[in-house]
Amino acid sequence: MVNTSQPLGSNHDRAERAEELRRLLNRAAHAYYVLDSPEMEDSIYDQLYRELLDLELQDSSIVTTDSPTQRVGGRPAEGFSSVRHRIPLLSLDNAFNHDDLHSWYGRLLKVLDREPPTGSPLPALAMVGELKIDGNALALSYEDGLLVRATTRGDGEQGEEITANARTITSIPLRLHLKPAPAWVEVRGEAFIPDATFQAINNERQSREESLFANPRNACAGTLRQLDPMVVASRRLDFFAYTLHLPDDWQGSTPRNQWDALQWLGDAGFKVNPNAGLLPDLASVEHFFDQWDNERRQLNYATDGVVVKLNDFQLQDAAGFTQKAPRWAIALKYPAEEAPTKILRISCQVGRTGVITPVAEFEPVSLAGTSVSRATLHNADRLEELDLHDGDTIVVRKAGEIIPEVVRVLPELRPAISQRLKLPQICPECSSELVREQGEAATRCINSSCPAILRGALRHWVSKGALDVDGLGSKLIEQLVDRGLVQSIADLYRLDEALLGSLERMGSKSAENLIEALNASRSQGWAKQLYGLGIHHVGDVNAKAITTAFSDSDSLHQAACHEPDSITAIYGVGKEIAQSLQQWFSNPANQLLLNELHSLGFSLALNEDEQTRAIAAAANNHLDGSTFVLTGTLPTLTRSQAKEQIEAFGGKVSGSVSKKTTYLVAGEEAGSKLSKAQGLGIKILDEDALLNMLKEFP
């Protein structure tokens, strides 16, 4: 029996009573919002909440961060700060049918060294199937059981801190239901707006003559970025937890597989999707996927597929990661919704490298909750393949539920008199003749003065991965180019505050800040400068490798034009990149740009920090020329950690044993790779031997 009217005598311990009220209210909220099993009448809850609020108003020292009264409070935020995730939030690779699923499973068996002999059945690995919620990923950080930070996914490495907003989501516990709690725990999950709630929000907005949200996912994303937590609370978001990370020295209950992790999250107070399944083999995964293709339409939230995860955590570690995704998980997506519509015209976009991209413009149709009227056609080959004619009826869908695409034409509905749609022969931006090299799919404008190419080059130069110039957005770049104020990257650094201040939506303070940002960008490193130049095929990763090998633009110019083999000798850099560098440095206009940048204060060379890193890399390169293969489970290192350390010292890690293999690093339960390596006479290392080798210097 809950006592709702305990008197507050002079000897009453307010802190003790407040603690009791917090415990009762948090338990009731968990039962209502997470377990969907109310255990307290609303009137009783309201009385207890009021009593707790009165106590906290009388004595602010007893207010705690996990109090139900603190879910919504404080002034609206002035903005969101960017924070780095303790553990990156990687994306998942996608599969779109059973064949894609089988291909992924085959790759998984190969990397785990469990491929069956030809003609033998596939070995069964236990997996977990979880519905893929169409919401927004959040990372929740707890310390000593208390929620201390919530962040959006962002780019996977860092996101925006939205702790005040996340605290309004009643299915996110402010304090873990664990005693004792870990020193820290990272919980990942999906915030979403249930369909019924979404409809109610839109009905309310319509009554106020406000614009409607397109779909629940967009509404959720916009809500999480509201600066006022009161607005977030009014939208009644929900949350499913699906992943956790615990400290290595945690002595409490530690899940050894994904199924147990879901149970752990539920015990800790999180809402876990009840529709997950423990699936013993691939056939069970297929059945689970097919079953939910029909049943998902009965759910009160949007789901666009099934996430399949290898259950065993040790096997997950053994499988490791690619550069962007875990090998042990796949997002198996349901077929995208399709809709017919009528083509209106073909327009063209000009990219920063001059590539012409045809775009189909059609009568608007609703797909996955959004109105769609344009879709890229990629290149002339795709346009020809579709055989598009004016007035055609086409079928459109959203690839991966995100990107609109034209799937096919319905020729039976074609008007009697119609003409085939083709790419133009002249650039829509500068009227120069377009060129298509033999053997290439891309059609290009090769006029380096083309305004579209210039706008694209400027946007790339100032982007975060390149020179990171804050305050120079697309609209301002368009003004600068359209008015003829900027005709090259170098011209950006000749702008002054008076000229910028005269532009539309640019005040004196904005102009001053932009000039400061431009000046600061001159000190960016050589790798960012090279990447910012926008050379075809040279990405940010390749730029780092290239600038480590060639310390300035002069040495890179010499190599690109006269010693291309020295470029392809760089690990991960192929002939395609070397050819792009040769073509770029051979262009007189680009040489003029480099000279101008030099005169404007750009070093186009390694700065002090980059030189230090390059020297360290060269000094520790004693494994250069050695190829390693990893198999089995190592005592302390995961496979990905071992790979990173080997590559840091110049070694190469391969997935298969061959005559070119220098060393095999074998842990427990080493498979057929060990036998093959022994048969080839390859030297076998255990973890200790590997670590000793990493410490050695020539």
Amino acid at 57: L
Q: What is the pLDDT of residue 1?
A: 41
Kindly report, residue by residue over 663-675, the tens digit of the pLDDT.
Answer: 999 988 777 788 7
For range 130-138, the mean pLDDT: 91
Distances (CA, A) of 616 to 312, 393, 625, 645, 650: 38, 61, 18, 14, 11
3-state secondary structure of 407: strand
Can you give 265-306 as a three-state secondary structure string?
HHHCCCCCCCCCEEECCHHHHHHHHHHHHHHHHHCCCCEEEE
* Residues 6+ positions from 260 with CB-CB distance below 8 Å: none
How far is CA 367 from its chain centroid?
A: 23
Can you give 177-232 as a three-state secondary structure string?
CCCCCCCEEEEEEEEECCHHHHHHHHHHHHHCCCCCCCCHHHHHHHHHCCCCHHHH
Highest mean pLDDT among 362-376, 529-543, 591-605: 591-605
Q: From CA 64, how far away is CA 70, in angstroms rounded?
A: 8
For range 623-646, the mean pLDDT: 80
Q: What is the pLDDT of residue 646?
A: 81
Q: From CA 152, how far away is CA 225, in angstroms rounded?
A: 9
For all residues of the chain together, what is the average pLDDT? Answer: 84
Q: What is the pLDDT of residue 225?
A: 81
Q: From CA 534, how far away is CA 402, in angstroms rounded?
A: 27
* Residues 6+ positions from 528 with CB-CB distance below 8 Å: 465, 466, 467, 468, 540, 543
Residue-wise DSSP of 500-526? HHTSTT--HHHHHHHHHHHHHHTTS-H
Alpha helices in 437-572 (DSSP H): 451-461, 474-482, 497-501, 508-521, 526-532, 540-549, 553-562, 564-568
Q: What is the pLDDT of residue 252?
A: 84
Here the tokens at position 541 are 């990763």
CATH number assigned to the domain covering 526-618? 1.10.150.20
Q: Is the CATH number 3.50.4.10 carried by domain 627-695? A: no
Strand partners, 240: 190
Q: What is the pLDDT of residue 154?
A: 81
Is a pLDDT exceeding 90 seen at residue 621? no
Q: From CA 152, how far away is CA 177, in angstroms rounded?
A: 24
Is a pLDDT exceeding 80 seen at residue 430? yes
Q: What is the pLDDT of residue 532?
A: 93
Is a pLDDT exceeding 80 seen at residue 694? no
List where CATH 3.40.50.10190 sits in the chain. 627-695
For the stretch 510-537, what's the b/e string if a residue is b when 16 or more beta carbons lie within 10 angstroms of its beta carbon?
Answer: bbeebbebbeebeebbbbbbbbbbbbee
Place of tokens 């999906």: 190
Kindly report, residue by residue over 563-590, the tens digit of the pLDDT.
Answer: 989 998 886 677 888 988 998 999 888 9
Tell me the pLDDT band of 515, cut-offs 50, 70 and 90.
Answer: very high
Element (H, E) at 380: helix 380-386
- Regarding predicted confidence, which is higher, 90 or 528? 528
Q: What is the pLDDT of residue 448?
A: 74
- Regarding predicted confidence, which is higher, 180 or 211? 180
For range 229-250, the mean pLDDT: 89
- Regarding predicted confidence, which is higher, 25 or 426? 426
577 with 537: CB under 8 angstroms?
A: yes
List where CATH 2.40.50.140 sits in the chain. 338-423
Here the tokens at position 663 are 């060393």
Active-site choice (110, 132, 475, 643): 132
Kindly report, residue by residue over 288-341, the tens digit of the pLDDT.
Answer: 999 998 888 888 888 889 999 999 999 999 998 876 789 999 999 887 677 889
- Regarding predicted confidence, which is higher, 514 or 659? 514
CA dihedral (673, 677, 678, 682) positive or negative: negative
Kindly report, residue by residue over 469-511, the tens digit of the pLDDT.
Answer: 988 988 999 999 999 999 999 999 999 998 998 888 888 888 9
Tell me the pLDDT band of 10, cut-offs 50, 70 and 90.
Answer: very low
Tell me the pLDDT band of 2, cut-offs 50, 70 and 90.
Answer: very low
Highest mean pLDDT among 67-76, 89-98, 137-146: 137-146
For range 451-464, the mean pLDDT: 92
Element (H, E) at 43: helix 42-58
CATH number assigned to the domain covering 14-70? 1.10.287.610
For range 126-134, the mean pLDDT: 94
| Phi/psi at 688 (5° precision) | -60, -45
Q: What is the pLDDT of residue 536?
A: 82
| Phi/psi at 452 (5° precision) | -65, -40
Residue-wise DSSP of 310-350? ESBHHHHHHH-B-SSSBTTEEEEEPPPPEEEEEEEEEEEEE
Here the tokens at position 311 are 């259950």
List where CATH 1.10.150.20 sits in the chain. 451-521, 526-618
Q: From CA 503, how far away is CA 473, in angstroms rounded?
A: 13
Q: From CA 553, how far away is CA 585, in angstroms rounded?
A: 9
Class of domain 451-521: mainly alpha
Q: What is the pLDDT of residue 156?
A: 79
Kindly report, residue by residue over 29-83, the tens digit of the pLDDT.
Answer: 776 555 546 666 655 665 677 678 778 777 777 888 777 776 655 444 456 788 8
**Strands lying side by side in the sheet with 370-376:** 370-376, 356-367, 338-350, 393-399, 403-409
Q: Which CATH number fits domain 338-423: 1.10.10.10, 1.10.3430.10, 3.40.50.10190, 2.40.50.140?
A: 2.40.50.140
List where CATH 1.10.287.610 sits in the chain. 14-70
Class of domain 127-333: alpha beta
Q: From CA 518, how far away is CA 480, in angstroms rounded?
A: 15
173 with 267: CB under 8 angstroms?
A: no
| Dihedral angle of Cα 100, 102, 104, 106, to the nearest 10 degrees | -150
Q: What is the pLDDT of residue 16?
A: 81
Tell me the pLDDT band of 218, cut-offs 50, 70 and 90.
Answer: confident
Q: From CA 688, how far away is CA 324, in angstroms rounded?
A: 29
Place of tokens 């996340």: 166
Burial group, residue 121, by CB count within 10 angstroms (0-12, 13-18, 19+)? exposed
Q: What is the pLDDT of residue 533?
A: 94
Is a pLDDT exceeding 90 seen at residue 276? yes
Residue 176: other Cβ atoms inside 10 A: 22
Here the tokens at position 62 are 């007893």
Q: From CA 289, how far away is CA 12, in angstroms rounded?
A: 58
Amino acid at 411: P
- Regarding predicted confidence, which is higher, 148 or 369? 148
Tell me the pLDDT band of 602, cut-offs 50, 70 and 90.
Answer: very high
List where CATH 3.30.470.30 sits in the chain. 127-333
Residue-wise DSSP of 616-681? HHHHT-TTTT-EEEEESB-SS--HHHHHHHHHHTT-EEESS--TT--EEEE-BT--HHHHHHHHTT
132 labelled catalytic? yes
Tell me the pLDDT band of 277, cut-offs 50, 70 and 90.
Answer: very high
Distances (CA, A) of 499 to 478, 505, 514: 15, 13, 12
Q: From CA 534, how far away is CA 593, in angstroms rounded?
A: 13
For range 256-282, the mean pLDDT: 95
